[in-house]
Amino acid sequence: MSDILKMLAHRISLGLLTLFAVSLIIFLGVSLLPGDAAQSMLGQAATTETVEALRKQMGLDLPPHTRYLQWLGNILQGDFGVSIGNRREISELIGVRFANTLFLALFAAVIAVPLALTLGVLAALYRNSIYDRTVNVVTLSSISTPEFFVAYILILLVSVKAGMFPSLANISPDTPLFERLHKMFLPAVTLTLVVLAHMMRMTRAAIINLLASPYIEMATLKGMSRARVIVHHALPNAWAPIVNVIVLNLAYLIVGVVVVEVVFVYPGLGQLLVDSVQRRDLPVVQACCLIFAATYVLLNLIADILSIMTNPRLLHPK
């Protein structure tokens, strides 16, 4: 137990240090954007006095290190500030959008994870067969294709040509569950095609790596079928790398949805980020980037913990 606690403390410390570094990069990156945010919001017709008043209101007249420390201190207290565009609390804006992004990622994961495990086990079961090669080619082609291109192809074939699903995922909090799932199907399938190959190939590689183990050979010599050997003996011992890659892909499903949300006009955190960049709403941009970073760091920590729970030998690497 002490080893696990030490590992947790070490991982959490690294995660907090990473978040601090990322927050600094986010602040510097947003601060170094070309142009003046106040001037951009007010337009070229604004007077100098009006621009200076808005700069003071936004805190842009303060030194960069002072603004960063104030911003970080407010975030540590749970205060993300106020949106410059509509004067609403940023936490209120982000709450609904982030919930939509999580729901989309969960929907895609429900499709992708069982499908990837099934395809990976079958690929290991029929190694080097036509099925194995076909699945590898198809999944690698899907992951090598840009997300926006996959999304537009799906819109053309499934929405425009077949008319089965809507091309826009314009949902609201009042949308019924089944209607919401219907409208979100194409974005979820797009994300599934992006992460499917990685999870499937890791499942296949982990199982094939174990097939040469002595206990697998003994189970085969006892007359067990190949399917039973893989499912009941190889798969349980391959969970550590599989769980790790699944959780990392779940992290990608959450933080990598920006392009997909923009294509399908899905009201998630990625769409809010793009809209805020266009409006030069810097506090919202900073908050969205930090939330994405924190989510990715947290899911990486969960991946490490689950890997060690499924394979305790990772606590004592040689």
- Establish if 299 belongs to a structural domain: no
Distances in Å between the alpha carbon of 76 and those of 65, 71, 81, 302? 16, 9, 12, 22
pTM of the full structure? 0.82
Same domain, 10 and 135: no
- Establish if 148 belongs to a structural domain: yes
198 with 245: CB under 8 angstroms? Answer: yes
Distance of CA 63 to the CA centre of its chain: 34
Same domain, 275 and 130: yes
- Establish if 275 belongs to a structural domain: yes
Same domain, 170 and 107: yes
- Establish if 303 belongs to a structural domain: no
- Establish if 265 belongs to a structural domain: yes
Task: Supply the pLDDT for residue 237.
Answer: 74
Same domain, 200 and 260: yes
89 forms beta bridges with: 82
Structure tokens at 92: 């209120």
Same domain, 71 and 102: no
Structure tokens at 84: 């410059």
Residue 214, class by beta-carbon neighbours within 10 Å (0-12 exposed, 13-18 middle, 19+ buried)?
Answer: exposed
The structural domain count of the chain equals 2
Task: Supply the pLDDT for residue 45.
Answer: 67
Same domain, 103 and 61: no
Same domain, 23 and 135: no
Same domain, 43 and 185: no
- Establish if 292 belongs to a structural domain: no
pLDDT tens-digit series, residues 17-41: 888 888 888 888 877 776 666 666 6
Same domain, 68 and 136: no
Q: Which of 300, 305, 291 is nearest to 102 (CA)?
A: 291
In whole angstroms, give the CA distance from residue 251 to residue 117: 18
Task: Supply the pLDDT for residue 39.
Answer: 64
CA dihedral of 35, 41, 45, 49, whole degrees rounded to 10: -90
Task: Supply the pLDDT for residue 174.
Answer: 82
Same domain, 71 and 160: no
Tens place of pLDDT per residue across the chain (318 aa): 566 777 778 878 888 888 888 888 888 887 777 666 666 666 666 677 777 777 777 666 777 778 888 888 888 887 887 777 777 788 888 888 888 898 998 999 899 888 888 888 888 888 888 988 888 888 888 878 888 888 888 898 888 888 888 888 888 888 888 888 888 899 999 888 888 888 888 888 888 877 777 777 787 777 777 777 777 777 777 777 777 788 888 888 888 788 888 889 888 888 888 888 887 777 888 888 888 888 888 888 887 777 777 666 655 555
Q: Which domain holds residue 27?
A: 2-76
Distances in Å between the alpha carbon of 283 and those of 80, 276, 308? 7, 9, 38
